[in-house]
Amino acid sequence: MNVNKNILLTAAIAAALGLPLAAQADTTDTTSSTTTTSDDWGQGAWWSAGYFEVDVGQAHYGSLNNQVSSTTANSTTNFSDNDTGWRANLGYQFNPWFSLELSYVDFGSVNDTIDFGSPSNSSFKSTRKAHAYGVAGVGSIPFGDSGWSGFLRLGTVDAHTQVNNTDIGSIPAPSSNTTSSDWKAYYGLGVAWQFAEHWALRLGWDQYHNLGNANTTGETNINFTNVGLQVRF
């Protein structure tokens, strides 16, 4: 009888010790499973991340409005030229469809020569350059699980433009050296391809609208066609 009591007591103690260990093991497995899921870039909230991106492309300076008075010039008053531009974006993607970006963009510079024709035989050279600090919202549309997505961008920039004119001949340039700093709108679209766990490529087009001041530097649209490399962190 005593032997049976000892056996039952031993079994009860073993069971009491085993339950906490089993519970701890179950908790450990659950935690491990949760950690694995959250760390898997391809599962769960992979899109919730900050990112840094560098874009390089062609900056196309459009026609420069109000640069030359129509009562003074009797020939070409249309400017159009290209240069290499670059942009740095720092952003955060809140969900698969929306992110917010801060950016700095440099559009390089372009040189144009305007010929006033006869009888003055005069001309002037105009050098234009621009850079800007911006903030924008980006809406994304994922294309299933392919890693591809489309995006639309809408924002505003603090644009700094400079026009430096040098006259040749009897007709003076409209102004020698003028600058402006104005808030202007910009918008764009493109496609993105996430080719690795933390890396993506973007191909985009953006228009920076009416940069400059109509009364000083003149206003111009700058179209920026670009390709960018993005890293998420």
pLDDT digits (tens, 9 = 90+) for 81-98: 899 999 999 999 999 999
201 in helix, strand or coil? strand
pTM of the model: 0.73
Is the pLDDT score of 230 beyond 70?
Answer: yes
Taking the C-alpha atoms of residue 138 and residue 93, their distance in angstroms, rounded to an integer, is 9
Banded pLDDT at 21 (limits 50, 70, 90): very low
The contacts of residue 19 (CB under 8 Å, 6+ apart) are: none
Is the pLDDT score of 108 beyond 90?
Answer: yes
Banded pLDDT at 76 (limits 50, 70, 90): low
The contacts of residue 100 (CB under 8 Å, 6+ apart) are: 91, 92, 94, 135, 136, 137, 138
Taking the C-alpha atoms of residue 69 and residue 63, their distance in angstroms, rounded to an integer, is 14
Nearest residue to 131 (alpha-carbon basis) of 217, 188, 212, 56: 212
Chain mean pLDDT for the chain: 79
Banded pLDDT at 42 (limits 50, 70, 90): very low
Question: Which token pair is 228?
Answer: 């960018």
